A and B are shown apart, each in its own frame.
Chain A
């Protein structure tokens, strides 16, 4: 903190902009993997819900018998639609000094983590992702769990490469 204090003016228009960035899409297989895990989730819910339904159906008022299944089917369909269109919104980009990830169809979210603020990074793999040879790149800062970034649907080799690159940059920054 003993550096001489400088405060030169910066032309705001020449700052590197996130808007013009070429964003990378996630691997196509990630959509399939996501659909399968979605399917498994709903199968479990529907089987257990169906069993309960079988025992309770006589006690329910008439209108519920018709409306409840319709609502449930609509929820299931919309969850698959959200997964499909949400997939297209998930994108990431690597810059010289930071990494960006954006997601969200309805509630949109775009996070950028500067390399000189990264605490650590890891590559993880769930069972379904493993079937498709995909992994999740997770990046942690000191900003608390809600600020951490996890980019899914990247092939393990690529994820490791990005991780090494990112951590290399972080280390280089600390040495300065």
Chain B
């Protein structure tokens, strides 16, 4: 850093002047998000009636002027400062608000930079607090330099506060240990082994959403459907192979492109008591997960990734937001090999008594789904056979066999292990998934029994954490009761804070 002059954060500071741009954008996005139902017919109607043009244009111009003025005022009304004990933000035009956040409650300071941020060399700063229900505190744009200064200043003060109470001597020793960086070839491999059904789903979704809008274009949805159907019916064998091939090429390309966009320049590292992840090509994201806020970790792979030995690791963090939105759950790291995961486990939980043996669930876990699959599919197949639709019946039979196979695999792979320190559940259909949590982070435990289960003396165990619930399905009633007793015993005797 060239200019290293310290900023006096005790004096209220404004954001970077460029923040106005981002406030305008945020304002417009919020407006469009609220009013898109009104906007679409106006934009759609523009072409048909010449009279609509001017009103539409006027409204847009008015909107633009208004939001710019509003944003400029908002910018000049926004101050942030650091006192001895807390971060203070003063803002608001009509409704003024003072936000005070004690340093001890600040969990992490994250930066986010999309393409525009990077061009202008500014960063959006998001301050993550310990509260479970609270909103994140966000500063729209600070110059990257100031953002870094603010972050180090906050972390310094936070640490001072902590060391004052603990009376711990050494401070300011940032131990950063790199865990994972992805090379271009790694990114390519990750892209290649993504779930390629996702883009295919996207295409299907696109077709269906065009149905939804067809009423506006005076088209009969049934006609479009019929057209697509006859189009598919008329294709020769070769042509259908070409279509399938193009679809596959599109999917793979899509996966690779999105992988590069999301995960380019990925660095995943350990910084004292937190894991940090920086990634992204156009939108640069920096997120952190503090040890105590992580409730459980999970990792998984599909069959292609298994060949490469890659897992996708994710941290499940506490917070009411985690349940409602997926905001907090975006801490996912692709391309982790087994040794990285072992490293993360060790850093997060220290020395633990990891279970070696896993237990299976009851075979009824399979039977229960199997009954449904067989029941529903045989009805559908019988109906199709009755009407001599042999082709459809064959396809349905194939799907039925596949579904049964997947269900069988998920039964075979569903395993769990519980000891006094930890709880692990693994599963997966074609792929594999695992999760691990220490017993002291459990919130509460429940046992549930459907009629199918209690008639066979079976039960499912549900384990609630601050980051969502986990299930051990279809185990014997006795075993469930014993596990419940054991887990409750561990939680109740534990003196460790779950967060």
- Contacting residues, chain B, for A5 (C-beta < 8 A): 351
A107 touches B450 (CB 8 A): yes
- How far is the CB of B458 from the nearest CB of chain A, in Å? 11
Across the interface, B491 reaches (CB within 8 A) one of A16, A108, A117, A145, namely A117
Closest Cβ–Cβ distance, residue A163 to chain B (whole Å): 17
Our pick among B351, B353, B444, B484 for the contact of A117 (Cβ within 8 Å) is B444
Given A7-B420, A18-B481, A142-B318: A147 and B132 interface contact (C-beta under 8 Å): no
Query: Is B451's CB under 8 angstroms from A107's CB?
Result: yes
Contact between B496 and A112, CB atoms less than 8 A apart: no
Contact indicator B492/A106 (Cβ below 8 Å)? no
Q: Is B447 an interface residue (CB 8 A)?
A: yes
Give 6 new A-B contacts, CB below 8 A, not counting A106-B450, A147-B443: A1-B496, A108-B454, A111-B445, A114-B491, A117-B443, A147-B464
Q: Is the pair A15, B353 in contact by a Cβ cutoff of 8 Å?
A: no
User: Which B residues are within 8 Å of any A CB, using their own CB?
Assistant: 132, 318, 320, 323, 351, 353, 420-421, 442-451, 454, 464-466, 468-469, 481-482, 484-486, 488-489, 491-492, 494-499
**Are B464 and A143 in touch, CB under 8 angstroms?**
yes
Residues of B within 8 A of A19 (CB): 481
* Docked complex Cα distance between A97 and B469 (Å): 22
Q: Are B486 and A142 in contact (CB under 8 A)?
A: no
Partner of A107, one of B132, B449, B499: B449
- In angstroms, Cα B493 to Cα A15, docked, is 12
CB-defined contacts of B466 to chain A, threshold 8 Å: 142-144
Contacting pair A117 B498 (CB below 8 A): yes
Q: Are A143 and B469 in contact (CB under 8 A)?
A: yes
Cβ contact within 8 Å between A112 and B488: yes
A113, CB-defined interface residue at 8 Å: yes
* Cα-based distance from A139 to B488 in the complex (angstroms): 17
Q: How far is the CA of A146 from the CA of B464 in the complex (A)?
A: 9
CB neighbours of B481 from chain A (8 A)? 17-19
Residue of A15, A141, A149 touching B489 (CB-CB under 8 A): A15
Which chain A residues border B485 with CB–CB below 8 Å?
Answer: 15-18
Total interface residues in chain A, CB < 8 Å? 35
Within 8 A of B (CB), among A124-171: 141-147, 149
By beta carbon, the residue of chain A nearest B446 is: A111
Identify which of A10, A16, A113 contacts B444 (C-beta below 8 A). Answer: A113
| Bound Cα distance A107, B462 (Å) | 14
The reply to whether A3 and B495 form a contact with Cβ atoms under 8 Å apart is: yes
- Across the interface, do B443 and A7 meet the contact criterion of CB distance under 8 Å? no
A98 touches B488 (CB 8 A): yes
Residues in A neighbouring B320, C-beta threshold 8 A? 144
Cα-based distance from A110 to B477 in the complex (angstroms): 12
Is the Cβ of B492 less than 8 Å from the Cβ of A10? no
**From residue A140, how far is it (CB to closest CB) to chain B in Å?**
10
A112 vs B351: C-alpha distance when bound (angstroms): 29
Q: Mark A111-125, 1 if CB is under 8 A from B, else 0.
A: 111111100000000
A109 near B: Cβ within 8 Å?
A: yes
Contact B492 A116 (CB under 8 A): yes
Shortest distance in angstroms between B357's beta carbon and chain A's nearest beta carbon? 15
A-B contacts, 21 of them at CB < 8 A, read A3-B495, A7-B353, A12-B482, A16-B485, A18-B485, A97-B488, A107-B448, A107-B451, A109-B448, A110-B447, A111-B444, A111-B445, A112-B446, A112-B488, A142-B132, A142-B443, A142-B498, A143-B466, A146-B464, A146-B469, A147-B443
Complex contacts, A58 vs chain B, CB 8 Å: none
CA distance A18 to B464 in the complex (A): 18
Separation of A17 and B485 alpha carbons in the complex (Å): 6
Report chain A residues within 8 Å CB of B444. Answer: 111-114, 117, 141, 143, 147, 149
> Restricting to A82-116, which residues have a CB under 8 Å from any CB of B?
97-98, 104, 106-116
The closest CB in chain B to the CB of A141 belongs to B443
Contact B486 A144 (CB under 8 A): no
Q: Once bound together, how far apart are the Cα atoms of A107 and B455, in whole Å? A: 11
A7 to B419, CA, bound (A): 11
Write out the residue numbers on chain A whose beta carbons fall within 8 Å of the beta carbon of B489: 10, 15-16
Q: Across the interface, do B491 and A116 meet the contact criterion of CB distance under 8 Å?
A: yes
Name the A residues within 8 Å of B132 (CB-CB). Answer: 142
